[in-house]
Amino acid sequence: MSVVDGHTADRTRKRPVDRTTLHRVWHALLAVIVLAIATLCYFFPVLLAVLGGLALLLGCARLIYRGRDRYIPNLYARDTRVYEDEYRGFIRQTMESLRRCKTRDHVLLREAAQLPPPSREDPEELLLDLGVWIGWSTRLAADASGRQVYGFDTFEGLVEDWQVDDQLVIKRGTFSLTEPLAQRFIADTGVTLQDGLPPALGRKVEFIKGMTYDTLAPFLAERPDAPITLFHMDLDTYESCLHALETCKDRFVEGSVLVFDEYLVTNGEMRAFYEFQRKYGLQWRYRAWGLEIWEMNVEMVTSRWKRFAYYLILITGYWSLGDGRYVWAFFDKRFWRFWLGAPLGDIAFMLGAAGQRKSVSLEITGLGALGADGR
């Protein structure tokens, strides 16, 4: 654990939390693309006519498309009709609410920066980061909040297979720090593992190694009266998420902020929270829908030129070979779900990021059955 004095904490709280350079580079490239198309249309009017015809055809197709708003903006992969009526209604209401709280920021950093100073009644309020990879989400949350943040991870990868909607299965052990990608980012961001743990690098953080199935309950038992102020979930799988929520349930209070990095994976974190809130009758409100936290690792690459190279590689890879292919791969059913079924606001929102927007934050406003003990 790294401890800093009060002056350092004050400086940390004032540090900028905007880490969206990758997306600003993408916006610049988009502007160049639009300008190039406009120039071609000026010199070749037939191109303008073709594009206008395609736009008209798209508009007509959207009017008759029967799958409107049936697919979640997590790559438009899963048809929500596979779920029971109650959960499908929850998903529909969720998307209606989230569309009113879109943000261009990374949700975790936004929420960490907005935390008020610790209260005198609960000086040991907890900020938990579950699933940290090489630790930058934890460090930057500490920077943004000026508070102590506790990061939990096995540092050996997923503890169970992760079924991502209908797209793919990410196998147990993926995201281990021994993988080449992790080793590359460890080297390029100035991280040196110490006894298998990422270092604090001068931040107010402490990393706890092991499965949260084994480490979370003992950690809380050592702090019996500490409420959870910020809870960041990035364990990915339904099982791990639901277990963490159940383990922490007695520490949630009115005003606790929960951030889910993969919330729009409807058979993962969203499903876990749905079942949790339904079981205990929680009341909550959504606060933000925006960028996931993985890109923080790119932003923390120490070499400016290497960081810019990462930007170009990630942008090119995302839109050409990666998850962003659904925007142009017309032979993929996700292409039609996106262009014909997604609300226009969602289309603009998704095209405005060189990566996925599936991180969501919410605030507990009523404890339901969890408040039966008079908390």
Render pLDDT for 229-243 as a digit per residue (tens, 0 to 9).
999 999 989 999 999
What's the mean pLDDT in 106-112? 94
pLDDT exceeds 80 at position 121: no
Cβ atoms 71, 337 nearer than 8 A: yes
What is the residue type of 97? S
The token duo for 48 is 């303008």
What's the mean pLDDT in 151-168? 86
Domains and CATH numbers, the chain: 6-368 (3.40.50.150)
pLDDT exceeds 60 at position 5: no
Whole-number mean pLDDT of the chain? 89
pLDDT exceeds 90 at position 72: no
Residue 88 binned pLDDT confidence (cut-offs 50, 70, 90): very high
**Residue 1: what pLDDT?**
32
pLDDT exceeds 60 at position 346: yes
Render pLDDT for 269-310 as a digit per residue (tens, 0 to 9).
999 999 999 999 999 999 999 998 888 889 999 999 999 999
**What's the rounded Cα separation, in Å, for the pair 227 and 230?**
9
Instruction: Kindly report the pTM of this predicted structure.
Output: 0.90
**Residue 370: what pLDDT?**
87
**What's the rounded Cα separation, in Å, for the pair 281 and 275?**
10
pLDDT exceeds 70 at position 16: no
**Residue 187: what pLDDT?**
93
What's the mean pLDDT in 116-120? 74
> Range with the lowest mean pLDDT among 51-55, 109-113, 179-183, 367-371?
367-371
pLDDT exceeds 70 at position 167: no
Phi, psi of 141 (to 5 degrees): -65, -35
